[in-house]
Amino acid sequence: MTTTPISQTEIWRRLADHATAIEGATLAQLFADDPGRAASLTVEAAGLHVDFSKNRMTVETRDLLVELAATADVAGRRDAMFAGARINTTEDRSVLHTALRRPKGDSLIVEGVDVVADVHRVLDKMAAFSDEVRRGRWVGATGRPIEAVVNIGIGGSDLGPAMAYRALRPHSDRDRTFRFVSNIDPTDLHEALVDLDPATTMFIVVSKTFGTIETLTNARSARAWLTGALGEEAVAKHFVAVSTSAERVAEFGIDTTNMFEFWDWVGGRYSVPSAVGLSLMLAIGPDGFHRFLAGMREMDEHFLSAPPERNLPMLMGLLGVWYTNFFAAQSTAVLPYADHLSRFPAYLQQLDMESNGKGVDREGRTVIVDSGPIVWGEPGTNGQHAFYQLIHQGTRLIPADFIGFSHATDPIGAHHDLLMANLFAQTEALAFGQDHDDPQRRFTGNRPTTTILGDRLDPEALGRLIALYEHKVFTMGTIWGINSFDQFGVELGKVLAVAIEPELAGDGDLDHDGSTNALIRWYRANRLG
Ligand code: G6Q
């Protein structure tokens, strides 16, 4: 069935008219006109307090955006995703990361298989393994317990666990060291291993396909480092794998009894709640990991059941579309006022830009309006002393999410109050600006922000935040008619370098364009010098 592109619908035209009508209204005016604005545009749900009122919207905008969601059938597609329909049409797959956090005892039969039972079989295996390692009962080849865990993976097999480990470090077992190796640049592996002892080091090789060149190259070099010290037999006690391909894991030389399975219906960038999160479970323990899953589930249930006008991921996604398509915003900033969330923006870059960075819709047509925005950010207050200048006084409109917590993770003196005072001050200044006779010193204000507050950065809160953004991205992709679950742009990169690598060490003729030929010749001439 062919659908009407969203930009040709009646509601899109009404939104365009409405955008023109409220374009001139400043946030200062909107607050003056409606004293109840902060209350009516704040949503308290799923453990979060989210203030949308400093956005360039009115209640009427919200209601029109809710109509847009209905026209794009966000709710229908959401239900289809949760039920296991093959909504990833280009790869003919279900999209079931939400099944990864369903409780034990639930059941979801997809094409004859109870996927929730499968999920818990693997979660139980992960928990048993984690307990062994954490209690020192899993010993290495020389009989010593594991003191360091090195996760080898890239993209979706790295960003989630690396971000989540950093976010939840205070909840982790501090006696053990955790490292994450992703880059093919040899310095990444070198730095990770330089002070580790092979006898007490465990490697987790994480690759959905077990065919990714960076991961396999790093894993082979790690194996050589281990076996050089402890011999070939050591692999069985020091290497485990996380993958969908038992065959390739066995081929690599890892015993499949030490393999933790996941499924092709889990996209890489959505995989941290699967076995891909094994390093996180080793760090924070099975109970901590289950709390993380419970937080995700809480947001899933909210996304499934809350009415659109109080549905956090839907509202965030709708606002994302509002700014991208009606205010020509090119980027969006995510600014966590929690240093432990320092990798959260990088994680969201993949989640959002790999999902919605597409120019063709599900039906193969060119998407004629802008789609996925550029996502960026750094923790506050650091960013304030760097790039906030451009958000305050630059020429571009950059909607920003400010994330903060009422409790400090590591309380010291008045630090946390100062941190949060900065968050509140920034959103106030961005919205209302500051007048000045000197235009250089003038802050025009009217710069939109959404403030997302939680109680404390614990496993549940991290789970809620991740699921919040997953469903935000889903909402946006659905409105644009995009398949948010494939990544052909990444796959091209996986094959291109393979052809050039042997040319670098050779001296044969080159058949690229003039620039690439010259660059390869320069490298050949200089690489051994
Ligand atoms: C994620 C992407 C991509 C992928 C990596 C690693 O959604 O598909 O980032 O996760 O390329 O792939 P493997 O896990 O197969 O090694």
Residue by residue, pLDDT tens for the chain (529 residues) are 678 999 999 999 999 999 999 999 999 999 999 999 999 999 999 999 999 999 999 999 999 999 999 999 999 999 999 999 999 999 999 999 999 999 999 999 999 999 999 999 999 999 999 999 999 999 999 999 999 999 999 999 999 999 999 999 999 999 999 999 999 999 999 999 999 999 999 999 999 999 999 999 999 999 999 999 999 999 999 999 999 999 999 999 999 999 999 999 999 999 999 999 999 999 999 999 999 999 999 999 999 999 999 999 999 999 999 999 999 999 999 999 999 999 999 999 999 999 999 999 999 999 989 999 999 999 999 999 999 999 999 999 999 999 999 999 999 999 999 999 999 999 999 999 999 999 999 999 999 999 999 999 999 999 999 999 999 999 999 999 999 999 998 877 777 788 899 999 999 999 999 999 999 999 999 998 7
Which one is catalytic: 214, 298, 354, 470? 354
Residue 157 vs residues 204, 205, 430, 515: alpha-carbon distances, Å: 11, 9, 36, 33
Q: Which residue has the tokens 């995700």?
A: 296
Ligand 1 mean position, distance from CA 443 (Å): 43
Contacts of 501-506 with C-beta under 8 Å, sequence gap 24+, read none
Taking the CA of residue 276 as reference, the ligand 1 atom at the shortest distance is: 14
Pocket of ligand 1, candidates 157, 180, 213, 259: which has the most ligand atoms within 8 Å of its Cβ, to mutate? Answer: 157
Positive or negative, the Cα torsion across 205, 210, 212, 216? positive
Q: Ligand 1: residues whose CB is within 6 Å? A: 154-157, 207-209, 212, 215, 267-269, 354, 487, 490
Quote the pLDDT of residue 496.
78
Distance CA(268)–CA(392), nearest Å, equals 35
Residue 1 vs residues 119, 194, 280: alpha-carbon distances, Å: 34, 57, 43
pTM of the model: 0.97
Whose Cα sits closest to atom 1 in ligand 1?
A: 268
**Catalytic-residue membership of 104:** no
Distance CA(528)–CA(280), nearest Å, equals 40
Quote the pLDDT of residue 495.
76
Rg of the Cα trace of the chain? Answer: 25
Taking the CA of residue 153 as reference, the ligand 1 atom at the shortest distance is: 16
Whose Cα sits closest to atom 8 in ligand 1?
A: 268
Strand order in the sheet with 177-181: 177-181, 148-152, 201-206, 239-243, 259-261
Strand order in the sheet with 374-376: 42-45, 48-51, 449-454, 400-405, 331-336, 374-376
Ligand 1 mean position, distance from CA 255 (Å): 22
Q: Could you tell me the maximum CA-CA distance found in the chain, to the nearest angstrom?
A: 76
Best CA proximity match to 427, nearest among 51, 47, 60 = 51
Peptide bond into 381 cis (omega under 30): yes
**Catalytic-residue membership of 385:** yes
Ligand 1 mean position, distance from CA 428 (Å): 39
Quote the pLDDT of residue 197.
98
Distance CA(418)–CA(401), nearest Å, equals 19
Ligand 1 mean position, distance from CA 156 (Å): 5
- Alpha-helical (H) ranges within 153-193 are 159-167, 186-193
Write out the two tokens for 234: 């050591």
**Catalytic-residue membership of 309:** no
Single-letter amino acid code for the residue at 266: V
Q: Are 73 and 478 in contact (CB under 8 A)?
A: yes
Pocket of ligand 1, candidates 490, 491, 492, 496: which has the most ligand atoms within 8 Å of its Cβ, to mutate? Answer: 490
Positive or negative, the Cα torsion across 250, 252, 254, 258? negative
Ligand 1 mean position, distance from CA 223 (Å): 21
